[in-house]
């Protein structure tokens, strides 16, 4: 089936789009993000207050959000202590039983885990000696569904650090936190993303994950329809950075952001730089915009960005809906067995695409009815990113001293080159589709866990 450049596949088709920048036209009230070039002082806040209402102050990165008339934006941008100011940018992307097993180390392999050489065909199949032990992975997303304990071992979720941030440009610039809302998601996107990292229980059958013994910190920064604002995401990034600088100072911390929008927000950029300076490793999806270019923050050069690859063995033999676990991805990894999806964002001038990972027809928990467990195929760079975040967790377990620059360099140097080309790929209806891509779609190539770990000192 043809998957267009803005698609996320849900069984047959599910849209998950990145929405554009909220513009400042006329004299309407807008939310703006302001980055200073100096420390925040009471005098600065008072002067900014003459241009609108200061809503939220992020002292760690000398930034704040405001509610203003759009006509005031130019005046704010011209203030000597303002480094940047822009309208807030949109970003897309009850008691239950606990899972009986403590981890999925010996769980069933799926094609995507096999493709990155974390597992091989069948059970008891881990192909790498690392499992993410001692590493925290913060998933900045929609949070987890109410029934998350039916999918994940409770000890693998850092409930004490779970948090939700809401508000942003759509709510006149105010960013607030709701500590318990992270586990009452109605969207399921964050749950599916988490399942790639940890693995999950498929109605009692354990499914392996990239880093099944890592600990996930759920940070809800997207609302119940899967969208949000860069000011809220910046708050989530700073929150994780402060955890790394504080109670998690002795542990490696990775952030996964399966989200994005068409422009880089100044405060979001400052938050990323701040987190990297604290030792956090940041991975993000490239976006689902095809030839229209990458999304941000993934396209921001310091971030490890991930394109979506697929496997030519999908749906083979025709109509086999269990292919995702009962078909073996050949070893050693052959680039001819893979392709870049047509929806995966291509790299434009000034953008930075790093590696590719499985993002086509990835199965995981995805609830369409609240409280009722269910599992769906999803496709998108949102699904590719957590594969790489999980690999980064394995690398950080092996060498906790690695920096963002080093992790990115290792992933790039160890990736398997995927030349531009075309593949004939069977769809779920039994019809072949020809999918083509150029050099702007692959970054440095297909990433694998064994390759990255071998290259990790």
- The SS3 call for residue 342 is coil
pLDDT in tens, 72-95: 999 999 999 999 999 999 999 833
Is domain 7-19+92-455 given the CATH code 3.10.129.10 in the classification? Answer: no
* Residue 213 phi, psi (nearest 5): -110, 10
Pairwise CA distance, residues 434 & 423, whole Å: 6
Q: Could you tell me which residue, 28 or 86, shows the higher pLDDT?
A: 86
pLDDT-based confidence at residue 20 (cuts at 50, 70, 90): very low
* Residue 387 phi, psi (nearest 5): -60, -45
Whether 23 contacts 87, CB under 8 Å: yes
Of 258, 382, 385, 414, the active-site residue reads 382
The answer, yes or no, to whether residue 96 has pLDDT greater than 80, is no
Q: Could you tell me which residue, 241 or 204, shows the higher pLDDT?
A: 241
- Annotated active-site residue 189? The verdict is yes
* Strands 29-36 and 82-87, sheet pairing: antiparallel
- The SS3 call for residue 324 is helix
Q: Which residues of 429-439 are buried (b: 16+ CB within 10 A; e: fewer)?
A: eeeeeebebee
Return the DSSP state at 437. E
The answer, yes or no, to whether residue 50 has pLDDT greater than 90, is yes
CATH 3.30.70.80 maps onto the chain at 29-87
Predicted confidence at residue 170, as pLDDT, reads: 57
Predicted confidence at residue 295, as pLDDT, reads: 97
Summarize the confidence of residues 367-376 as an average pLDDT. 84
pTM of the entire predicted model: 0.92
Tokens of 84: 């940047």
Summarize the confidence of residues 323-330 as an average pLDDT. 93
Predicted confidence at residue 28, as pLDDT, reads: 86
* Residue 119 phi, psi (nearest 5): -130, 170
Q: Residues of the chain with pLDDT > 70: what percent?
A: 91
Predicted confidence at residue 101, as pLDDT, reads: 60
Pairwise CA distance, residues 411 & 112, whole Å: 17
Predicted confidence at residue 26, as pLDDT, reads: 55
- Annotated active-site residue 141? The verdict is yes
Summarize the confidence of residues 49-61 as an average pLDDT. 95
Mean pLDDT of the chain: 90
Q: Name residues whose C-beta falls within 8 Å of residue 320's C-beta, 6 or more positions apart in sequence.
A: 326, 327
The answer, yes or no, to whether residue 25 has pLDDT greater than 90, is no
* Residue 85 phi, psi (nearest 5): -150, 130
- Annotated active-site residue 242? The verdict is no
Of 189, 192, 387, 444, the active-site residue reads 189
Give CA angle at 382 (378, 385), nearest 5°: 120
Q: Could you tell me which residue, 60 or 174, shows the higher pLDDT?
A: 60
Residues in the chain: 457
Summarize the confidence of residues 48-69 as an average pLDDT. 95
Predicted confidence at residue 2, as pLDDT, reads: 31
Of 141, 185, 342, 450, the active-site residue reads 141
CATH 3.40.50.200 maps onto the chain at 7-19+92-455
Summarize the confidence of residues 171-197 as an average pLDDT. 87
Q: Which residue in this structure is represented by tokens 């941000």?
A: 296
The answer, yes or no, to whether residue 313 has pLDDT greater than 50, is yes
CATH number belonging to domain 29-87: 3.30.70.80
The answer, yes or no, to whether residue 113 has pLDDT greater than 60, is yes
Predicted confidence at residue 17, as pLDDT, reads: 25
pLDDT in tens, 424-453: 999 888 888 999 999 999 999 999 999 999
Q: Name residues whose C-beta falls within 8 Å of residue 250's C-beta, 6 or more positions apart in sequence.
A: none
Q: Identify the H or E element spanning 165.
A: strand 163-167
pLDDT-based confidence at residue 16 (cuts at 50, 70, 90): very low
Short-list 362, 274, 291, 295, CA closest to 325:
362
């Amino acid at each position: 089936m043809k998957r267009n450049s803005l698609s996320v596949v849900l069984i047959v088709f599910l849209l998950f789009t990145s929405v554009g920048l909220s513009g400042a036209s006329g004299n309407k009230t807008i939310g703006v993000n302001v980055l200073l070039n100096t420390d925040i002082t009471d005098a600065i806040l008072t002067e900014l207050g003459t241009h609108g209402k200061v809503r939220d102050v992020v002292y760690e990165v000398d930034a704040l959000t405001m509610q203003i008339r759009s006509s005031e934006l130019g005046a704010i941008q011209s203030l000597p202590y303002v480094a940047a100011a822009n309208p807030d940018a949109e970003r897309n992307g009850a008691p239950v039983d606990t899972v009986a097993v403590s981890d999925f180390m010996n769980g069933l392999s799926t094609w995507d885990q096999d493709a990155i050489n974390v597992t091989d065909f069948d059970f008891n199949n881990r192909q790498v000696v690392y499992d993410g032990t001692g590493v925290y992975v913060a998933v900045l997303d929609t949070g987890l569904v109410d029934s998350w304990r039916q999918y994940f071992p409770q000890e693998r979720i850092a409930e004490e650090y779970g948090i939700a941030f809401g508000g942003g440009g759509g709510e006149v610039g105010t960013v607030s936190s709701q500590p318990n809302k992270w586990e009452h998601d109605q969207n399921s996107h964050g749950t599916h993303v988490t399942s790639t990292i940890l693995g999950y229980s498929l109605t009692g059958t354990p499914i392996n994950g990239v880093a099944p013994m890592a600990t996930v910190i759920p940070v809800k920064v997207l609302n119940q329809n899967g969208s949000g604002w860069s000011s809220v995401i910046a708050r989530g990034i700073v929150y994780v950075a402060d955890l790394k600088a504080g109670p998690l100072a002795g542990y490696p911390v990775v952030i996964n952001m399966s989200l994005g929008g068409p422009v880089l927000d100044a405060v979001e950029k400052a938050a990323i730089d701040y987190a990297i300076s604290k030792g956090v490793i940041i991975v993000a999806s490239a976006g689902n915009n095809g030839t229209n270019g990458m999304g941000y923050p993934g396209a921001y050069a310091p971030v490890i960005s991930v394109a979506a690859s697929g496997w030519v063995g999908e749906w083979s033999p025709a109509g086999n809906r269990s292919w995702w676990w009962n078909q073996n991805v050949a070893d050693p990894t052959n680039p001819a067995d893979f392709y870049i999806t047509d929806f995966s964002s291509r790299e434009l001038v000034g953008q930075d695409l790093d590696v590719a990972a499985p993002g086509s027809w990835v199965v995981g928990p995805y609830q369409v009815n609240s409280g009722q467990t269910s599992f769906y195929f999803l496709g998108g760079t949102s699904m590719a990113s957590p594969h790489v975040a999980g690999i980064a967790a394995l690398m950080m377990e092996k060498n906790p001293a690695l920096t963002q620059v080093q992790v990115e360099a290792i992933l790039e140097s160890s990736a398997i080159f995927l030349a531009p080309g075309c593949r004939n790929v069977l769809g779920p209806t039994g019809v072949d589709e020809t999918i083509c891509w150029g050099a702007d779609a692959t970054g440095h190539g297909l990433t694998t866990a064994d390759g990255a770990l071998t290259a990790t000192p």
